[in-house]
Amino acid sequence: MGVHVVVVYRPKPGQAKALVDEVRGHVPELRRLGLATSEPSLALQAADGSVVEHFEWISEEAMRTAHEHSDVQAMWSRFEACCEYGTLGSLVNADDLFAEFEFLGRF
């Protein structure tokens, strides 16, 4: 069994579309590199435009390896150009009992 993670991305001004495009390609690229499982990722959007992504690394070792992989570093640079990272607790609806999100897709 892999390692499930949830990531929050906050788009920079004017970068919402670029961010969603990066999220669409994120896990497929990690899979291509042998770092993510075949389980589809789940991407949701909060009311403030933040994107929440859930996916599964194949292992903790894969997570560590990603930090040293040039293709992953290039991908993360593209993410940094269009977003800032946030936490689940910082989402505008984090305190809602039934937090609602817009479905963006499974990738």
Distance, in Å, from the CA atom of 32 to the CA atom of 107, rounded to the nearest integer, reads 13
- Residue 53 · residue 9 · CB < 8 Å: yes
pLDDT recorded at residue 40 = 96
Q: What is the pLDDT of residues 7-17, one digit of tens each?
A: 999 999 999 99
Distance, in Å, from the CA atom of 13 to the CA atom of 79, rounded to the nearest integer, reads 13
Q: What is the pLDDT of residues 36-64, one digit of tens each?
A: 999 999 999 999 999 999 999 999 999 99
In sign, the C-alpha dihedral spanning 102, 22, 78, 55 is positive
